[in-house]
Structure 1
Amino acid sequence: MRLKPYALLSCLPLVTGQSLAAEKTIYGLNEYAQLTDIDVEIAAKLDTGAKTASLSARDIERFKRDGETWVRFYLGVDDAHEHPIERPLARISKIKRRAGDYDPEEEKTYTARPVIEMEICMGRTLRSIEVNLTDRSAFQYPLLIGSEALKRFGALVDPSLKYAAGKPGCTSDANSAE
């Protein structure tokens, strides 16, 4: 039997997709994440529907240091962090408000949040990602990892799994670039 050229071409996306999938890491809906900058391990929710990553923070304030804008905050995790954390401000993110969070009198459909860079380890993968700071104390997971960060981790998310990557185990020579 002789295959027609178009039949072979139609199989090409399957082969390409499989090779790309082989280079990715499968994570569960929830994973342990090590915030290596501050040596704290927390539970994270992986959310492909969110664009950005969000970290639970309290008492967030901006200040100037050597002419640059910085952010000082306390990690909002069960009073686990008593000392303030200070990081340079990367940018301000505009997060869309949900229907229940929108005040028509205020006329703003977004919330402005400070964004910082953090080194995060999930499984054996270490990446520097942007996280916006907000009070997530009403949520079960203090860290939400959105699609932009998931791309940096080369993540495939299987929502039927939890903690598929195991405890964070990044070494100092782990690949944090990309």
Structure 2
Amino acid sequence: MRLEPLALLFCLLLLPGLSLAADKTVYGLNEYATLAELDLQVAAKLDTGAKTASLSARDIKRFKRDGETWVRFFLAIDDAHVHPIERPLARISKIKRRSGDYNAEEEKTYTARPVIELEVCMGSALRSIEVNLTDRSAFQYPLLIGSEALKRFGALVDPSLKYAAGKPDCTSDANSAE
């Protein structure tokens, strides 16, 4: 009968972890996301191995507006996006290059990418996240959501699921709590 107290102790030790998991939302490997400020819904890949989020963009140019640095770009999603988008530059991100992307002559092991802040809705959660801009047109998903953004969403990612959160439905700013 010595096993019963040990089993009870083990269960009690698990309780804090279970309550933390209860506060999380389960998302699939892929989810629909609405880029609220751009009035656009895209398919996103959730990648816990990537730190930052990336949005497919082309013709990315930095410029000054009222003494601040801004970024002008076009979405590199399909031919329908012909109007430029302008957003304040949040920062420059240094992204490690993959081995096939490394040029020894340049001697740079990273790529510098502009980062902007965007309001993104997944399921019923609306969050402001940092997104770096790069041409992802060679990839299946125009938006990659990395671990920093996933933390903001309180996400648990189940890679066996797809589109677990359903279509985005962020109808009020009440969902934007962080």
Common fold, TM-score beyond 0.5? yes
CA contact (8 A) 1:94 1:111 kept: yes
Cα pair distance change 1:8/1:128, threshold 3 Å: same
CA-CA distance at 1:7 after TM superposition: 6.6
Secondary structure at 1:127's aligned position in 2? strand
Q: CA RMSD in A?
A: 1.7
Q: Normalized against structure 2, the TM-score is what?
A: 0.94
- The amino acid of 1:32's aligned partner reads Y
**What amino acid does structure 1 have at the position aligned with 2:32?**
Y
Alignment of 1:1-178 (within 5 A): 10-178=10-178
Matches of 1:119 and 1:151 in 2, distance apart? 15
Aligned-partner Cα distance in 1 for 2:94–2:10: 41
| 1:172, distance to aligned residue in structure 2 (A) | 2.2
Displacement, 1:13? 3.8
- The 1:7–1:45 alpha-carbon spacing in structure 2 relative to 1, beyond 3 Å, is same
- For 1:68-110, what per-residue CA distance to the aligned partner results, in whole angstroms no more than 9, with x for missing partners? 0000001111123111110000000000000000011110000
State the 1:49 CA deviation.
0.3
Counterparts of 1:55 and 1:174, CA distance in 2: 25
CA contact (8 A) 1:48 1:146 kept: yes
Q: Note the residue ranges of structure 2 that are not aligned, 5 or more in a row.
A: none
**Which runs of no fewer than 5 residues in structure 1 stay unpaired?**
none
CA contact (8 A) 1:124 1:170 kept: yes
In the superposition, the TM-score normalised over structure 1's length comes to 0.94
Runs of 4+ in structure 1 over 6 Å off: 2-7
What SS does the aligned partner of 1:114 have? strand
State, as a whole percentage, how many aligned pairs show the same letter: 84
Report the count of equivalent residues: 178
More helix by share: 2
